[in-house]
Amino acid sequence: MSRYRAAVSTRLVVLVSGGGTNLQALLDASADPAYGVQVVAVGADRDGIEGLARAHRAGIPTFVVPVADFADRDGWDAALTDAVAGYEPKLVVSAGFMKVVGKRFLERFAMVNTHPALLPAFPGAHAVRDALAYGVRVTGCTVHLVDGGVDTGPIIDQRAVVVRSDDDESTLHERIKSVERELLVDIVGRMSRSGWQVNDRKVVLGE
């Protein structure tokens, strides 16, 4: 099979707050030059997480900007913006990053988020628990552009996952995450290689 190699890899900063399996999927994909993505740094809002350890093992620079280190949210947002800007990314990926970034950050960077539910259903930090509690039979994941709200930005793509009668939050989330990782890798690669456009809420990828 012949492979097209992207002329220049797109610089990506990934933000994490936890285990970082979505980050790992991006790191694994970016090992192939044809994927067209270079993860130039990994940032977090807390230390001591597996997501940062994954970056260390891959030899990728990391930075940590905890909200508690700042007098207010604006100060944190400014520091996060500066930390990310130092790596000059074309795209920032929130891969399980459990903080809402502010206006300053979003004026400067395009940002993609992955969410473990079919938005606009079940936004927020407990999407899998909320979907189970509501009793939905089908849920899934959403990759979307980030705007100023909580999981409200334009949807890029979604995948459905069927809820089993014996699912608990953990089994369902693991099944969602295996679909989520594939979707995120696909979308980030396509955006990086071919760009994107947003018309109203419709996101059109270049390939």
- The DSSP secondary-structure symbol of 201 reads T
C-alpha span between 144 and 203 (Å, rounded): 9
Single residue of 54, 99, 115, 175 touching ligand GRF by CB under 6 A: 115
CA distance 27 to 29: 5
Measured from the CB atom, is 46 or 194 closer to ligand GRF? 46
Residues between 118 and 157 that touch ligand GRF (CB under 6 A): none
| Residue corresponding to tokens 């940590």 | 64
Of 9, 12, 14, 22, the residue at the interface with ligand GRF (CB under 6 A) is 22
Q: Which of 12, 13, 15, 20 binds ligand GRF (CB under 6 A)?
A: 20
Token pair recorded at residue 93: 């990926």
**Residues across the chain:** 207
Contact flag: residue 177 with ligand GRF (CB under 6 A): yes
- What is the smallest separation between the CB atom of 20 and ligand GRF, expressed in angstroms? 5
20/189 with CB nearer ligand GRF: 20
| Contact status: 45 vs ligand GRF (CB under 6 A) | no
CB of 9 to ligand GRF, least distance (A): 22
Q: Interior CA angle at 48 toward 43 and 51, to 5°?
A: 50
Between 51 and 89, whose beta carbon lies closer to ligand GRF? 51
Question: In this structure, what DSSP letter does residue 33 have?
Answer: G
Q: Which residue is nearest to ligand GRF (CB)?
A: 96
d(CA 9, CA 77): 27
Q: How far is CA 175 from the centre of its chain?
A: 17
Chain-centre distance of CA 86, in angstroms?
19
Active-site residues: which are they? 115
Number of residues binding to ligand GRF, judged by CB under 6 A: 14
Say how far apart CA 182 and CA 22 lie, in whole Å: 9
Nearer to ligand GRF, 115 or 193 (CB): 115
Provide the binding-site residues for ligand GRF, judged by CB under 6 A: 18-23, 51, 95-96, 114-116, 177, 180
